Structure 1
Amino acid sequence: MLRTQVVQRLREVKGSTLAVTSPRAGEGKTLISCNLAVSLARLTDLGVLLVDLDLRRPSVLSTFGFAPTNGISDHLLRGVPLADCFVDPGIDRLLVLPGGAASPKSSELLSPVLMSKLTAELVDRHADRIIVYDLPPVLMIADALVFLEHVDACLLVVEQGRTRREDVTRCLELLEKINVIGTVLNKTRAATQTYGYGYGY
């Protein structure tokens, strides 16, 4: 299963932070991020923190059925205390840090200086959790690439029948120096949403 592979690969690199991204929008990365976070929370004793860093189109909360609330963009732009931004989705050992209000300034908010401080704070506060980051699509804006230096590993989500092979090739070229631990084949157009896991496309 995906969660087992992720835990194994994180242990191999002695890491606890994982980014999930995709080539383009609409390929199911947020749904995969949410499903993976829930699955990891049920599997591990460590707990999971799911962080929505797709600040232009934050949708983790809505995926769980919650209304928008303060999140990372509100913390960075308006000084809302980070401690006031966390959401308990009602799932044991899972905590969510929303993206907050959609921001066209996401590239500025995801700058190396701000993200270095934020990720260090999250790791320090939640040393007992696996941290999963839902990132923007790699080929649409530079935000994801800027951030990936702050994580131990990355998953690339592609959608069956939608993602173009050349997009995957380009993504893997851009992510050459990143620890990409696998590619998730998302089948969102099937009657029942499923996904597979692999190391190629």
Structure 2
Amino acid sequence: MTIAVAKSIPSQRPLDLESLPVFTPDPAVLSDQLIVGLDSRDSRSRAFNLLRTTLAKRMKEKGHRLVGITSATPSAGKSFLSLNLAASLSRVSEDDVILVDLDLRRASIAEGVGMQVKRGVSEFLNGEVSELASIGSRVHDSQLVLFPTKAVSKNTAELISGPVFEKFISGLRQETGNSIILFDLPPAFANDDAMLILGQLDAYVMVIDSGKTNTKQVQDVLAMLDPVPCIGTVLNRYNGGFADNYGYGYGTSAYAKYYD
């Protein structure tokens, strides 16, 4: 059975990031979800601080602004990393840092900060919403801007493969100045969504789940997503060598004294 879906391309006014509604996360939710990137005094944020500097340097060298974050398989921690990395970047950026949830079936970004989404990316892509400004929010007292989504159970490929999606990406690219834009993507092997999305972006970062993601999976993802450049890999949940108790890496509990 074939179902025809008529889509109109939303007309957009210029996107004014400063005028977006402000969202104030519940500190208890951030603590429960281990979202520490907004707090420079939290010793657990140091791994994301180191990562942000490396990523920002590579993006500047290559002229990249729109970068996806994916993994080979589910439950590798990519949404957790996306939120913390974007939050950490927003603390040192002269421009806003934007995080867009394009893992449409999971919608993990809103959950990570305790946000209730009435209208999000999925509503923009299916034509229910015509303005980017109506689906974005600024995080209180920060340079972080979120474009969350509501979970979509099926037909995600239809939402990200047509002119509406191209309009969505071009709007973000053209109307956000010099802002870094990160996209939380589906796992590469879950379906072809990541492949379709990355055709519109500049590059991607791959999250590797230590002890679970194997070498062949990494190689297969790199081959599958070619020619889009992979500008870095992140080993998550690493518990050996220089890892700390949280598995983020980069040190031992001795580093916590620096933040006291």
TM-score, normalised on structure 2? Answer: 0.70
Give the whole-Å Cα distance in 2 for the aligned partners of 1:78 and 1:112: 12
Residue of structure 1 aligned with 2:212, choices 162, 168, 171: 162
Q: Which residue is 2:175 aligned to?
A: 125
SS class of match (1:168): helix
Query: Which residue of the partner structure matches residue 57 of structure 2?
Result: 8
Max radius of gyration: which structure? Answer: 2
Within a 5 Å distance, the mapping from 1:105-124 to structure 2 comes to 105-124=155-174
Deviation of the 1:195 alpha carbon: 5.1
Change (3 A) 1:164 1:48: same
1:174 partnered with 2:240: no
CA distance in 2, matches of 1:99, 1:26: 19
Question: 2:111 maps to what in 1?
Answer: 62
Query: CA 1:125–1:20 in 2, change beyond 3 Å: closer, same or farther?
Result: same
CA distance in 2, matches of 1:112, 1:11: 29
Structure 1 position 25, deviation (Å): 0.9
Contact 2:125–2:165 (Cα < 8 Å) also in 1: no
CA deviation after TM superposition for structure 1 residue 191, in Å: 4.3
**Is this contact kept in 2: 1:152–1:179, CA < 8 A?**
yes
Other-structure match for 2:246: 192
Cα distance in 1, alignment partners of residues 156 and 238 from structure 2: 27
SS in 2 for 1:88: strand
Greater per-residue strand proportion: 1
With over 3 angstroms needed to count, the CA separation of the structure-2 counterparts of 1:65 and 1:174, relative to structure 1, is: same
- Contact 1:50 1:97 survives alignment (8 Å): yes
Q: C-alpha displacement at 1:78, in angstroms?
A: 4.5
Q: TM-score, normalised by structure 1?
A: 0.90
Residue from 80, 85, 89 that aligns with 1:36: 85
1:150 aligned counterpart, secondary structure: coil
Q: Is the 8 A contact 2:135 2:148 kept in 1?
A: yes
Counterparts of 1:124 and 1:103, CA distance in 2:
30
CA deviation profile, 1:88-123 (whole Å, cap 9, x unmatched)? 232511100012242412111010533221110011
Q: What SS does the corresponding residue of 1:123 show, helix, strand or coil?
A: helix
Q: What is the RMSD computed on CA atoms of the aligned residues?
A: 1.8
Residues of 1 paired with 2:51 and 2:141: CA distance? Answer: 19
Deviates more, 1:16-25 or 1:187-196: 187-196
Q: How does 1:44-123 map to 2 (within 5 A)?
A: 44-80=93-129, 81-123=131-173
C-alpha distance in structure 2 between counterparts of 1:130 and 1:103, whole Å: 29
Amino acid at match of 1:88: R
Amino acid at match of 2:212: R
Q: Which moved more, 1:52-61 or 1:9-18?
A: 9-18
Please report how far the alpha carbon of residue 141 of structure 1 lies from its aligned counterpart in structure 2 after TM superposition: 0.5
- In structure 2, the CA distance between the partners of 1:98 and 1:2, relative to structure 1 (3 Å rule), is same
Contact 1:69–1:98 (CA<8 Å) still a contact in 2? no
Gaps of 5+ in 1: 197-201
Matched letter for residue 109 of structure 2:
V
